[in-house]
Amino acid sequence: DGGITQSPKYLFRKEGQNVTLSCEQNLNHDAMYWYRQDPGQGLRLIYYSQIVNDFQKGDIAEGYSVSREKKESFPLTVTSAQKNPTAFYLCASSIARAEQFFGPGTRLTVL
């Protein structure tokens, strides 16, 4: 059963704490993406990766970091440098120049 999964569904972060959001896909897609969505807003690209061991900054990369050590996995770390991290985070994957498949999302709240 192919798909893309994200965990956890809900995440709470204290001030000054780093947290890592998981994203896994078994669709054999080369490209993976992280987006942030704020209430009433569209999706904004944080980071994307087109191939293992390579990734590029999106439009709002400051305060975030990623790794792509395996084709299936693209974890996102929200660092303490991200001053306003409360948002809905979406991971997606795709083959070249085609539609993107999204995970169910992680809702991050700062306490």
Partner 1 sequence: SQKIEQNSEALNIQEGKTATLTCNYTNYSPAYLQWYRQDPGRGPVFLLLIRENEKEKRKERLKVTFDTTLKQSLFHITASQPADSATYLCALDIRGATNKLIFGTGTLLAVQP
Q: Which residues bind partner 1 (CB under 8 A)?
A: 31, 33, 35, 40-45, 48, 50, 56, 58, 88, 90, 92, 94, 96-105, 107
Measured from the CB atom, the residue of 62 and 81 that comes closer to partner 1 is 62
- What is the smallest separation between the CB atom of 15 and partner 1, expressed in angstroms? 25
Closest CA to 78 of 91, 92, 90, 62: 62
Which residues, in sequence order, are CB contacts of 111 under 8 Å at separation 6+? 12, 13, 14, 15
Measured from the CB atom, the residue of 1 and 15 that comes closer to partner 1 is 1
Rounded Cα gap, residues 8 and 20, in angstroms: 9
Measured from the CB atom, the residue of 17 and 26 that comes closer to partner 1 is 26
Tell me the two tokens of residue 34: 């992280």
Rounded Cα gap, residues 25 and 38, in angstroms: 24
- What is the smallest separation between the CB atom of 67 and partner 1, expressed in angstroms? 18
- What is the smallest separation between the CB atom of 45 and partner 1, expressed in angstroms? 7
Tell me the two tokens of residue 86: 């409360």
Measured from the CB atom, the residue of 51 and 81 that comes closer to partner 1 is 51
